[in-house]
Amino acid sequence: MNRQAQAIVLFLVGGAVLRAGSTDLYLRYVKAELRPLVLVAGAVLIITAGATVWYERRRPRTADDGRSEQPDGPSEQHGGHVHREPLVSWLLVLPLFALILVAPPALGSYSAMRAGTSLQEQPWGYSALPAGDPLRLNLADYAGRAVYDHGRSLRDRPIKVSGFVALDRSGTPYLVRMALNCCAADAQPVKIGLSGQLPPVLQPDTWLEVTGTYTDKKTKDPVNGGVIPFIDVTRTHPVPAPHDPYDESWNG
């Protein structure tokens, strides 16, 4: 591609990034706190595209311009006219329009059951939990307390957690949240098993708010051998997917 074509591609990429950063679309790719960097990146790309066009317009024209803009590799000339890059090369721009027009779905049960459960490193201790029944916890907090603290702070209290449903090959149901370190590419699932009073049918990727109590039942994740704690369910309630499906602070 010549520089003007490159500028067009840069502008389209920058516009797509700015659109993602100015709407909730960016939450499908990166953590919420990275939004300023997404907006800056989009602005830089658009400014670079403008600077490229400005430079091309001000650059003195020479007899070699036609040859310098030819694509790498052999080219053909007929009647003094240089063949430009084929129009089919512009098909490379189509993925950009997909980014602009189509929001990708958040990672769900398919990805979760093909990755091992992931917990934060064991802390030195856990802070006291607030009063109130039921106790609302994010799923990662419940899993960490159930595994590392052996449920000491969870016993004899009704607990409410939220996540999406995933089923393993044997049909065992799990409640899952995908946790991000930076972006969706490094997302890791945090899983808790479901036992007790469950609906007769559980559909994968359905978001549920689960009320239950701590149980010392645990299993090992077949993917990485990580410990998966269970919760003894007393009630389930379907809920819509959260605004930010990767935000572990969301509690339904």
Q: Which runs of consecutive H residues, i.e. helices, occur in the chain?
A: 3-22, 35-58, 65-68, 94-101, 109-112, 139-148
Same domain, 233 and 115: yes
Res. 104 pLDDT band, cuts 50 70 90:
low
Contacts of 215 (CB under 8 A, 6+ apart): 151, 195, 229, 230, 231, 232
Between 74 and 181, residue with greater pLDDT: 181
Same domain, 100 and 115: no
Task: Provide the domain limits for residue 123.
Answer: 110-238
Between 67 and 213, residue with greater pLDDT: 213
Same domain, 122 and 91: no
Same domain, 213 and 133: yes
Arithmetic mean of pLDDT over the chain: 79
Domain tally, the chain: 2
Same domain, 41 and 71: yes
Among 71, 104, 137, where does a domain finish?
A: 104
Among 69, 104, 139, where does a domain finish?
A: 104
Same domain, 93 and 122: no
Report pLDDT digits (tens) over 119-141: 877 777 788 888 888 999 999 99
- Whether 71 shows a pLDDT value over 60: the answer reads no
- Whether 78 shows a pLDDT value over 60: the answer reads no
Whether the model pTM is above 0.85: no
Same domain, 205 and 133: yes
- Whether 250 shows a pLDDT value over 50: the answer reads no
Same domain, 168 and 218: yes
- CATH, residue 231: 2.40.50
The string of DSSP letters for 84-115 reads: ---GGGGGGGHHHHHHHH-PPPPP-HHHHTTS
Between 247 and 69, residue with greater pLDDT: 247
- Whether 108 shows a pLDDT value over 50: the answer reads yes
Among 104, 123, 156, where does a domain finish?
A: 104
